[in-house]
C-alpha cells in the first residue's frame, strides 16, 4: 500500500494550430495510504485529465507524480500498480465475466492459470457476481456490469484505485446503494482511492477528503465538512451544498452591508475581519436561513414566497423582496417538509450573523466563514 503524491502536476494540450490549453494547472495533493479522495468539479475542470495522468493514459507536462515516494511519471500504465474503473465500465464485450476479470492478470503477471482462476472467483464472490462468471457483459444489467468493472479492478490487487465517475450510468436508487457498497469495499480493502465525480452529493458522502477543481486549478482540499462550512472561496461555497448557497453583492457602509433590497448590520467582530474593503459578496446557505412570522431583530427581513418546491422531507422556498416584478430576483431557503407554505405568502427570513459567509468579489476568496463552534466538532468526528 502506498501514499500517492501529486506535486505540481500540470497538463498542457497543444492544439493542431499551436494553441496551448492548460487543462490541469499545478496541482498539489497528497493522498494518504488507504485514503479515499474525491476529485470534484464541473465538467471540463480537468478532474478526468488529472486522473488519466495518474493512470498513465495522459502524459504529464510538468510536475511529479510519486507513489510510495518513488517517481512514476515515466512508468507505463500497466507498471504503475493502479487499477481504473471507467464511467462506461469498458468491459470487453466478447469475453465472459471470468475472462474479463482474468485479462489483466494474464497480460501483466506470470501467475499460473489455476491461481488466476482462484483469484478471479474470490473477487467475484466478494462483489456478489460469483454466479455470473460465464455470462458476457451484454447479458448483464447495468448494476451487474458495474460490479464486474469493480471486480476487474480488485483482482489486480493494485496500490491505487482510480475511478472515473463509475456510478453515473446507474439509476438514482442503485447509485446510492452502490455508493455505500463502494465505501465499505474501499474500507475493507484499505486501498488508496481517487474518485472523480461532478456530483457534489457523491463527493460529500463518499470522500475522506474532497479536492475541488475548477478551470484546471485546485480550489480547496479538505474534509467534506470543511469544504461545506469553511469554503476557501466563492466557487467552493457555490459548488458544495444542495441547494446552492445564496449570494448577494453588497457594499460596506458604516457598520452595515448594503444590498439592493436590504441592509445587513454587522457586529464589531465581523467588521474587524472585513477591514477596509468596500465591496463584498454575502453568502448564506439556504438551510441556515430561519423563517419567522414576525420581524423582531435587525437580521430579520420581510419577504414573500415566490415558488415552493416540496422535496418531501424539505421545502425549498424561493423568496423575493419585490413580489410585484414579473421575474423577481429570488433566493432560496429550506424548511421542514411538514410546514405548509404557499406561494404569495409573506414570510420573515432571519439571517443569523454566525452563519454568514463573506467573500471578496474580485478574487472570490473567503473573507469570513461562518462561526465554527458547532461545525468544528462535526469536522473532528469525520
Partner 1 sequence: MTDTKLADDGLSLNRIGLYAVLLGLVVFYLLPLEAGIVTSFKSIRAYGQTAPFLPAVDGFTLAQWSSAVDQLSGSLFNSVLMAVPATVFSALFGSMAAYGLTNIDWRGQVGIYVLFVAGIFVPYQAVLVPLKRFWSQWVPLHIWLEPVWYLTGLGTDYAGLLALTITHIAYGIPICTLLFRSYYKSVSDEMVEAARLDGASIRRIYRRIILPLSIPMFAVTLIYQFTQIWNDLLFALIIVGPGDASVITQSLIGIGQSESVTNFPLQMAAAFVTALPTLLVYIFFGEQFAKGVTA
Q: How many residues interact with partner 1 (rule CB under 8 A)?
A: 23
84 near partner 1 (CB under 8 A): yes
90 near partner 1 (CB under 8 A): yes
The stretch near partner 1 (CB under 8 A) out of 36-44, 88-96, 281-289, 358-366 is 88-96
Residue 120 CA to residue 324 CA, distance in Å, equals: 66
107 near partner 1 (CB under 8 A): yes
The stretch near partner 1 (CB under 8 A) out of 74-82, 246-254, 291-299, 363-371 is 74-82
57 near partner 1 (CB under 8 A): yes
- Applying CB under 8 A, among 3, 103, 287, 316 the residue interacting with partner 1 is 103
Nearer to partner 1 among residue 45 and residue 162 (C-beta):
162
For residues 369 and 230, the answer to whether their CB atoms sit within 8 Å is yes
In whole angstroms, how close is the CB of 237 to partner 1 at the nearest point? 33
Residue 355 CA to residue 317 CA, distance in Å, equals: 18
Q: Which is nearest to 87 in space by CA: 20, 166, 152, 185?
A: 166
Handedness of CA 128, 130, 131, 134 (dihedral sign): positive
Nearer to partner 1 among residue 69 and residue 93 (C-beta):
93
Nearer to partner 1 among residue 84 and residue 358 (C-beta):
84
Burial of 207 (0-12, 13-18, 19+ CB in 10 A): buried
- Applying CB under 8 A, among 12, 78, 258, 325 the residue interacting with partner 1 is 78
Long-range contacts of 72-80 (CB under 8 A, 24+ apart): 78/107, 78/108, 80/54, 80/55, 80/56, 80/160
End-to-end CA distance of the chain: 22
104 near partner 1 (CB under 8 A): yes
Nearer to partner 1 among residue 152 and residue 368 (C-beta):
152
- Assigned C-alpha cell, 108: 501483466
Question: 145-204: which residues touch partner 1 (CB under 8 A)?
Answer: 152, 156
Nearer to partner 1 among residue 111 and residue 126 (C-beta):
111
For residues 333 and 286, the answer to whether their CB atoms sit within 8 Å is yes
Nearer to partner 1 among residue 76 and residue 340 (C-beta):
76
For residues 56 and 76, the answer to whether their CB atoms sit within 8 Å is yes
- Applying CB under 8 A, among 61, 87, 316, 330 the residue interacting with partner 1 is 87
* Site residues, partner 1 (CB under 8 A): 55-57, 77-78, 82-84, 86-88, 90-94, 103-104, 107-109, 152, 156
Amino acid at each position: 500500500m502506498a501514499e500517492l503524491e501529486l506535486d505540481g502536476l500540470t497538463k498542457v494540450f497543444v492544439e493542431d494550430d499551436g494553441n496551448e490549453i492548460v487543462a490541469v494547472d499545478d496541482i498539489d495533493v497528497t493522498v494518504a495510504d488507504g485514503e479515499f479522495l474525491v476529485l470534484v468539479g464541473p465538467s471540463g475542470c480537468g478532474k478526468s485529465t488529472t486522473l488519466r495522468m495518474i493512470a498513465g493514459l495522459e502524459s504529464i507536462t510538468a510536475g511529479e507524480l510519486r507513489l510510495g515516494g518513488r517517481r512514476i511519471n515515466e512508468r507505463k500504465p500497466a507498471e504503475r500498480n493502479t487499477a481504473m474503473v471507467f464511467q462506461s465500465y469498458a468491459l470487453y464485450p466478447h469475453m465472459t465475466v471470468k475472462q474479463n476479470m482474468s485479462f489483466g492478470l494474464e497480460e501483466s503477471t506470470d501467475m499460473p492459470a489455476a491461481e488466476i482462476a482462484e483469484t478471479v472467483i474470490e473477487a467475484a464472490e466478494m462483489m456478489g457476481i460469483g454466479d455470473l462468471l460465464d455470462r458476457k457483459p451484454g447479458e448483464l444489467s447495468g448494476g451487474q456490469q458495474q460490479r464486474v468493472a469493480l471486480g476487474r479492478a480488485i483482482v489486480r490487487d493494485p496500490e491505487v484505485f482510480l475511478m472515473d465517475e463509475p456510478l453515473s450510468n446507474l439509476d438514482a436508487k442503485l447509485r446510492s446503494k452502490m455508493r455505500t457498497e463502494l465505501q465499505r469495499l474501499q474500507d475493507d480493502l484499505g486501498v488508496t482511492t481517487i474518485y472523480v465525480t461532478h456530483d457534489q452529493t457523491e463527493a460529500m458522502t463518499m470522500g475522506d477528503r474532497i479536492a475541488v477543481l475548477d478551470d484546471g486549478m485546485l480550489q480547496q482540499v479538505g474534509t467534506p465538512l470543511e469544504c461545506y462550512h469553511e469554503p476557501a472561496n466563492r466557487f467552493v461555497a457555490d459548488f458544495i451544498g444542495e441547494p446552492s448557497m445564496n449570494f448577494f453583492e453588497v457594499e460596506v457602509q458604516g457598520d452595515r452591508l448594503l444590498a439592493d433590497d436590504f441592509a445587513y448590520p454587522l457586529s464589531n467582530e465581523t467588521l474587524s475581519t472585513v477591514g477596509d474593503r468596500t465591496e463584498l459578496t454575502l453568502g448564506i446557505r439556504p438551510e441556515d436561513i430561519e423563517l419567522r412570522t414576525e420581524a423582531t431583530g435587525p437580521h430579520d427581513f420581510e419577504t414573500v414566497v415566490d415558488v415552493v418546491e416540496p422535496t418531501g422531507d424539505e421545502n425549498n422556498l424561493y423568496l423575493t423582496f419585490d413580489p410585484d416584478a414579473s421575474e423577481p430576483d429570488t433566493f432560496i431557503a429550506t424548511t421542514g417538509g411538514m410546514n405548509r407554505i404557499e406561494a404569495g405568502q409573506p414570510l420573515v427570513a432571519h439571517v443569523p450573523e454566525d452563519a454568514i459567509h463573506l467573500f471578496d468579489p474580485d478574487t472570490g476568496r473567503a473573507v469570513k466563514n461562518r462561526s465554527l463552534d458547532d461545525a468544528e466538532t462535526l469536522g473532528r468526528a469525520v
